[in-house]
Amino acid sequence: MSHPDTTPGARPPALLGTQGAIFLAIVLGAAVLIPALNLLTPAGSALHVPTYLVSLLGKYLCYALLAMSVDLIWGYVGILSLGQGAFFALGGYAMGMYLMRQIGTRGVYGDPVLPDFMVFLNWKQLPWFWYGFDWFPFAALMVLVAPGALALVFGWFAFRSRVTGVYLSIITQAMTFALLLAFFRNDMGFGGNNGLTDFKDILGFNVQADGTRAVLFALSALALAFGYVLCRYLVRSHFGKVLIAIRDAEARVRFTGYRAENYKLVAFVVSACLAGVAGALYVPQVGIINPSEFSPANSIEIIVWVAVGGRGTLAGAALGAVLVNYAKTYFTSGVLAPYWLFMLGGLFVAVTLFLPKGIVGTFLDWRSRHAEAEPDVPGATPKPVA
């Protein structure tokens, strides 16, 4: 675990440390193995991975990417967004709208253009903002543009008027709450509380076919890997060093001649786009997108995943997301069902008290204490900021 920079005048640091390599190995390995085990092995064989598990894990991976997007701005820039769920949901809606349009005449009313919910609320024609979503490239573009644009506008205002700390956190929460209320309204034309569901196929493949699920899983894994490499590259670039500097001493950064707000804005938008991608991959795998994804509670939960895994460690965020959600899956069935909230709540309290740096953060500390080495990720263990 030697830092590339220990010799004067060394080349810029390698993109991946061991930690990153391990992480990628696992994710990419899963991307190959899980679908293989699902499709190639006969059901009932010891190695067989049931489809149920594939889409479940796929869901976890989307959450992992979402958590990573939060870690990028929280762990490295100190922006605590309590509204990240909004970007996730917007990406999800963009994908959901595409999937709705794909249903075509197979809706219960057999209307070629209008989704069912519009028919029985007798809407006459498609609202303008639904145009184009029947064309995949456009929808795919919107997956990035919708959350990106929201982040751009919101961030542009917030960062240049130097809203920071809890104030920023609370208005991000207000933002997602406003969107929650807006999308609940049936008049908005997004299916109200029921949201978008009963999808048939994506790019011509049946969303429920095992093959499609396997591919979606693999894609989620690749997206996560890509997201990791991207974030990793960003935080290790000169740009990323400025981000961390902003987190630790924003005023100093300004006096050093950097436009802190622009740096924050770029990071914020990138993070929003990642969240959007996560949402887009999430929707076809869980089969529904509805306004509850906007609920502030969801966004807070994302923060919790990151904290559990270890803030400012990227891989930790992903790990936290998977662990917490697995715990949720596990606790919510069987004898534990009535008590799972105790366990989840207890887990959060315990982590904050005993693992303030999260699982990975704590581990990295432990390691750097043992093997005398600089942290692999710059600012891996940030001092508390908000």
Partner 1 sequence: MSDILMAPEAANPPRAITEKTLTDALLYLNGVSVTFDGFRALNALSFTVDAGEMRAIIGPNGAGKTTMMDVITGKTRPDIGEVFFNGGTTDLTKLDETEIATLGIGRKFQKPTVFESHMVIDNLRLALKGQRGALANIFRRETGEERDKIDAIFETIRLSDHRYRLGGALSHGQKQWLEIGMLLAQDPKLLLVDEPVAGMTDAETAQTAELLRAINANGHSVVVVEHDMTFVRDLGVRVMCLHEGSVLAEGTLDQVSANERVIEVYLGR
Partner 2 sequence: MLKLFSEPGRFAGRLVGRVAAGAAALALIGAAVPAKAEDTIKIGVLHSLSGTMAISETTLKDTVLFLVDEQNKKGGVLGKKIEAVVVDPASNWPLFAEKARELITKDKVAVVFGCWTSVSRKSVLPVFKELNSILFYPVQYEGEESERNVFYTGAAPNQQAIPAVDYLMSKDGGEVKRWVLAGTDYVYPRTTNKILEAYLKSKGVKDEDIMINYTPFGHSDWQTIVADIKKFGSAGKKTAVVSTINGDANVPFYKELGNQGIKATDIPVVAFSVGEEELAGIDTKPLVGHLAAWNYFQSIDTPENKAFIEKWHEYTKNPKRTTNDPMEATYIGFNAWVAAVEKVKSTDADKVIDALPGIKVPNLTGGTAEVLPNHHITKPVFIGEIEDNGQFDVVWKSKGLVPGDAWSDFLPGSKDLEADWVKLKCGNFNTVTKKCGGA
Partner 3 sequence: MRLAAAFLAFALAVLTVVVSRPAMAGPYEDALAKFTTESYADTDEGLGLLATSGNPLAVDIVEALADGRLLFNADAKTVYVKKADGSLIDAATGQPATGVDEAALKPVRANNRVRRAIEAASGALSLMNPDPAKRLAAAQAVFKSRDAAARPALETALSRESDPQVKAALASARAAIVLNDSASPEADRIAAVDTIAGAGNQDALALLQNVPADAPAGVKTAAASAVASIQHSLAIWDVAQNIWYGLSLGSVLLLAAIGLAITFGVMGVINMAHGEMVMLGAYVTFMVQEAIRTYDPGLFDASLIIAIPIAFLVTGLIGVVIERTVIRFLYGRPLETLLATWGISLILQQAIRTAFGPTNREVGAPSWMSGAFEIGHLSITYGRLWIIVFAGLVFLALLGTLRLTRIGLEMRAVTQNRRMAASMGIRTNWVDAMTFGLGSGIAGMAGVALSQIDNVSPNLGQSYIIDSFLVVVFGGVGNLWGTLVGAMSLGVANKLLEPYAGAVLGKIALLVIVILFIQKRPRGLFALKGRAIEA
Residues in region 245-304 near partner 1 by CB under 8 A: 245, 248-249, 251-260, 262-263, 265-266
Site for partner 2 in 181-220 (CB under 8 A): 181, 184-186, 192-195, 197-200, 208
Query: Could you say whether residue 340 binds partner 2 (CB under 8 A)?
Result: yes
Specify the residue, 254 or 367, whose C-beta has the smaller distance to partner 2: 367
Specify the residue, 139 or 245, whose C-beta has the smaller distance to partner 3: 245
**CA-to-CA separations, 26 to 20, 21, 60, 125, in angstroms, rounded:** 10, 9, 14, 48
What per-residue string of b and e applies to 164-190 under the rule 16 or more CB within 10 Å gives b? beeebbebbbebbbebbeebbeeeebb
Q: How many amino acids of this chain bind partner 1 (CB under 8 A)?
A: 36
What is the nearest approach in angstroms of partner 2 to the Cβ of residue 322?
8
Site for partner 2 in 58-77 (CB under 8 A): 59
Answer for the pair 68, 84: CB distance below 8 angstroms, yes or no: no
Q: Site mask, partner 3, residues 60-99, x = CB under 8 A?
A: --------------------x-------------------
Answer for the pair 151, 269: CB distance below 8 angstroms, yes or no: yes
Query: Could you say whether residue 336 binds partner 3 (CB under 8 A)?
Result: no
Specify the residue, 200 or 254, whose C-beta has the smaller distance to partner 1: 254
Rounded to a whole number of angstroms, the distance between the first and last alpha carbons of the chain is 30
The three-state secondary structure class of 363 is: helix
230 binds, among partner 3, partner 2, partner 1, none (CB under 5 to 8 A by kind): none
Query: Could you say whether residue 300 binds partner 2 (CB under 8 A)?
Result: no
How far is the C-alpha of 53 from the C-alpha of 42, rounded, in Å?
15
Query: Could you say whether residue 249 binds partner 3 (CB under 8 A)?
Result: no
The three-state secondary structure class of 289 is: strand
How far is the C-alpha of 367 from the C-alpha of 329, rounded, in Å?
31
Query: Could you say whether residue 174 binds partner 2 (CB under 8 A)?
Result: no
How far is the C-alpha of 310 from the C-alpha of 352, rounded, in Å?
10
Q: Which residues form the interface with partner 1 (CB under 8 A)?
A: 3, 5-6, 8-9, 12, 234, 237-239, 241-242, 244-245, 248-249, 251-260, 262-263, 265-266, 374, 378-379, 381-383
